[in-house]
Amino acid sequence: MTDDIVRLGQRPLIVSDVDEVVLEFLTPFKLFLESRQLRLLPSSFRLTGNIVDLQSGEAASEATVKALLDAFYDAQERWQTPAALVVKTLAELSAEADIVFLTAMPPRHAARRRALLDALGLPYPLLASEEPKGPLVKYLHGARELPAVFIDDILRNLHSVRDHAPSCLLINLMANAEFRALAPAPDVGIHVAADWAEAARLIRSHLRAAVNG
Ligand SMILES: [Mg+2]
Residues 183 and 170 in one domain: yes
How far is ligand 1, taken at its centre, from the CA of residue 77, in Å? 17
Same-domain pairing of 195 and 168: yes
At residue 106, the 3 state secondary structure works out as coil
Domain containing 186 — which CATH number? 3.40.50.1000
pLDDT band at residue 82 under the 50/70/90 scheme: very high
CA dist list (Å): 36 to 20, 39, 52, 68, 167: 21, 9, 11, 10, 44
Same domain, 30 and 18: no
Residues 118 and 38 reside in one and the same domain = no
Whether residue 171 sits in one domain with residue 103: yes
Residue 142 pLDDT level (bands cut at 50, 70, 90): confident
Q: Which amino acid is at 120?
A: L
pLDDT in tens, 173-182: 999 988 888 8
**Same domain? 134 vs 119:** yes
Question: What's the CA-to-centroid distance between 170 and ligand 1, angstroms?
Answer: 14
Instruction: Please report which confidence band the pLDDT of residue 171 belongs to, taking 50, 70 and 90 as the band edges.
Output: very high
106 and 130 assigned to the same domain? yes
Query: Rounded to the nearest whole angstrom, what is the distance from the C-alpha of residue 213 to the centroid of ligand 1?
Result: 32
CA of 194 to the centre of ligand 1 (A): 15
Confidence of residue 213 (pLDDT cuts 50, 70, 90): low
- Measure 18 CA to ligand 1 centroid, in angstroms: 6
pLDDT band at 183 (very low <50, low <70, confident <90, very high): confident
Residues 175, 131 within the same domain:
yes
If asked whether residues 91 and 195 sit together in one domain, one would say yes
For residues 43 and 102, membership in a common domain is answered with: no
Domain termination site, one of 78, 93, 112 = 78
Distances in whole angstroms, Cα of residue 80 to Cα of each of 32, 123, 156, 176: 10, 16, 23, 13
Residue type at position 78: R
- Asked if residue 105 has pLDDT above 70, the reply is yes
> What mean pLDDT comes out for the span 60-73?
95
Total count of domains within the chain: 2
Question: Residue 40 belongs to what domain range?
Answer: 26-78
Is 3 a residue whose pLDDT tops 80?
Answer: no
What's the rounded Cα separation, in Å, for the pair 107 and 22? 18
Same domain membership, residue 157 and residue 122:
yes
Confidence check: pLDDT of 210 > 90: no
Residues 72, 61, single domain; the answer is yes
Contact 202, 191 (CB under 8 A): yes
Burial of residue 141, with CB atoms counted within 10 A of its CB: 0-12 exposed, 13-18 middle, 19 or more buried: buried
Distance 203 CA to ligand 1 centre (A): 19
The pLDDT of residue 46:
85
